[in-house]
Chains A and B, each alone.
Chain A
Amino acid sequence: MDVGSKALPKTLVASPERQYEADSDRMIVQRVQAGEVAAFDALILKYRERVYGMIYHMTSNREDAADLTQDAFIKAFQSIHRFQAQSSFFTWLYRIAVNSTLTHLRKARLRTFFSFEKITDEDKTAELVNQLTESKGADRDLFLCELQEKLNEAMMKLSIKHRTVVTLFEIEGLSHEEIAEVTQCSVGTVRSRLHYAKQLLQAELQRYMNP
C-alpha cells in the first residue's frame, strides 16, 4: 500500500484519521517496548515513504535523504523505550527526522548538490504540467525538468526553518499544531514563518504562475 501517494488533508487541528492512526501506532509501540522487536518493522513500512519525502524536499538530494531516513529510524528504534506517548508516534518520529536533517543541513551549508527524484505522472500533476506546457508552448519533458529544477532552487533559497514549515505544511500536509509540536515552537511562529516563506517562493516562481 502506497501510503505516500495519499494526500493527507491539510487541517489546522489533528483530524480523526490522525487520531485513529495515533492510537494504532501506540499499540505497536507498546509491543516493541515489551520486547517484540519485530513489531517495529510495521512502523518502518508505514512511515518510511513519508519520512523520506519530507527529508528529500528539505535537502533536494535523494542520496542524503535515504541516509538521513535510515538514521532517523535507527535513532527512533534506539530510543523507543523513552517514548512515553505524550504525543503521537508520528510527530515523535517526524521530530527525530527533522532534527537529524537540520543538523545535516547546518553542517553541509556550503555544499548544495541537487539530486532529483522523478516526477511521477499522476493525474493531478499531469494535468497541471500539461496546462503549463501549453501555456508556455514548450516541450513537455524539457519544461518539466526546468520546472523541477526551479522549484528546488527556490526551496533551497529559503532558510532551513522556513523550508521546514513549507515542507511540512504544503507538501506533507501537517497541521499548524503538529508542525509546532515537531519543530518545538509556537503555532504563531509556524504561521509567520509559513507566510514569509510563501512570499519568497512566489517571488521566485512568478513566471510559472499565471498573472
Chain B
Amino acid sequence: MKETTERKKTKITLEDLLQIKRAERPSPDFWPHFERELRAKQLAAIVETRPWWRLVVARKFLVRWCVPLGAAAMVAMVFGSFRGVRVPSSCAPIAGEQVALPEPLTTARAEAFVSAVQGRSTVVNHAGSFESLVQADGSASCSAVDLAQSADHHAVNATTQDAELIAVSANPVDPSLAQVIGTAGIEVSLGADPVAAVEPLNEVTPPHDSRRSRLLAYSVSFDPHAANSSDAVRSRERITHRLSDDSVYDSIARLALSANRVSIKF
C-alpha cells in the first residue's frame, strides 16, 4: 500500500487498466438475491424432466397417430368379430331354426319325397279337414303336429321329409331338383349357386313370405294326379286369407324339426 501511494506519474500499462476492470464487483445486497434464485433453480432441477425425444414422440406421434391407429384397430376388431359369426352355407339358414340335411338331397330322393307328401296329404284328409284343425287353435303348427302324431309310417317319413323340405325350401337347390319338387305343387325357393358364399342375412326373407309359403306347402292338400288343380289354388287362397303373419311366424317359431322327431314349444 505504501508503494501505491508513492507511485506517481508512472506508466500506465494495460495490466493496470485491466485491474480497474477487476474492481468491478456487485453490491453486497446482490448475493442474498442470488442465493434465493439459486435455491429456486436447484429445486426446479430436482424435478425429473422428460427427455426431449419423449416430448417429441408424445406431441407428434401420440396426438397424430395413436388416435387414428386406435380407431383403425377398433374397426378391425369389429369387422373381425363380425366375420367370425358367419354361418356356413351348408346349414339351413333359418332364423332360430337349424335343420341339417341328413344326407344330400338327390333327384331320386326328391321323387320319394314327393310321393311321401302325397301320402301325407292323404293322412291329412283322413285326420280331418285341415280347416277345422287350423281354426281350433289358430295356428298351423298343430296341424303339422297332428300329422306327425296321427299318421302312420307315411307321416313319420313325411316328418323326416319335412325337414328336408325345410332345408330345400330355404337352401338353394339344383334346378333339376326344383323341377321335380315343383311338379308336386310345392313352393320351393330357388337360390343362387350353392357353392357361392352368401351372407346369411341376405338370404333371410320377411317371415310372411317364406314361412307362409312353407306352411302352405305343408298344409295344402293336393293330388298331382287330379285333373283339376283349382282346388289346391282355392285352398291356398283360403288359407292365405285366414292366416295372419304373426300366427304363421309364431307357429314356425314353436315348431322345431329334427331328423326323426318334431318338437313343439308352448
Contact = CB atoms under 8 A, between A and B. Distances in A.
B241 interface: no
Nearest to B27: A118
A58 to B, nearest CB: 11
B1 A125 contact: no
B194 to A, nearest CB: 77
Nearest to B20: A125
B20 A119 contact: yes
Nearest to B45: A74
Given A170-B15, A198-B14, A78 B45 contact: yes
A120 B34 contact: no
B17 A117 contact: no
A123 B9 CA distance: 17
B24 interface: yes
Contact of A171 (B8, B18, B34, B38): B18
Secondary structure dominating the interface of A = helix
A132 B23 contact: no
A131 interface: yes
Contact of B4 (A7, A66, A77, A123): A123
Contacts of B24: 53, 56-57, 116-120, 148
B34 A128 contact: no
B20 A148 contact: yes
A166 B8 CA distance: 27
Nearest to B40: A70
Give the contact-size bracket for chain A: 35 or more
Interface in A18-62: 44, 48-49, 52-53, 56-57, 62
B21 A123 contact: no
B83 interface: no
Interface in B11-69: 11-27, 30-31, 34, 37-38, 41-42, 45
B1 to A, nearest CB: 6
B13 to A, nearest CB: 7
Nearest to A78: B45
A129 interface: yes
Contacts of A73: 38
Given A56-B24, A117-B25, A77 B42 contact: yes
A26 B13 CA distance: 38
Contacts of A69: 34
B14 A205 contact: yes
B45 A147 contact: no
B14 A74 contact: no
Contact of B25 (A120, A131, A210): A120
B17 A208 contact: yes
Contact of B31 (A48, A151, A208, A210): A48
Given A73-B38, A127-B7, 11 more contacts: A7-B22, A49-B25, A66-B30, A70-B41, A78-B45, A119-B23, A120-B23, A120-B25, A170-B18, A201-B14, A209-B12
Interface of B: 1, 4-5, 7-27, 30-31, 34, 37-38, 41-42, 45
6 contacts: A117-B24, A123-B4, A124-B19, A132-B12, A201-B14, A209-B13
Report the 9 A-B pairs with minimum CB-CB distance, sorted nearest first. Answer: A125-B23, A117-B24, A170-B18, A119-B23, A210-B11, A70-B38, A127-B4, A209-B12, A120-B23
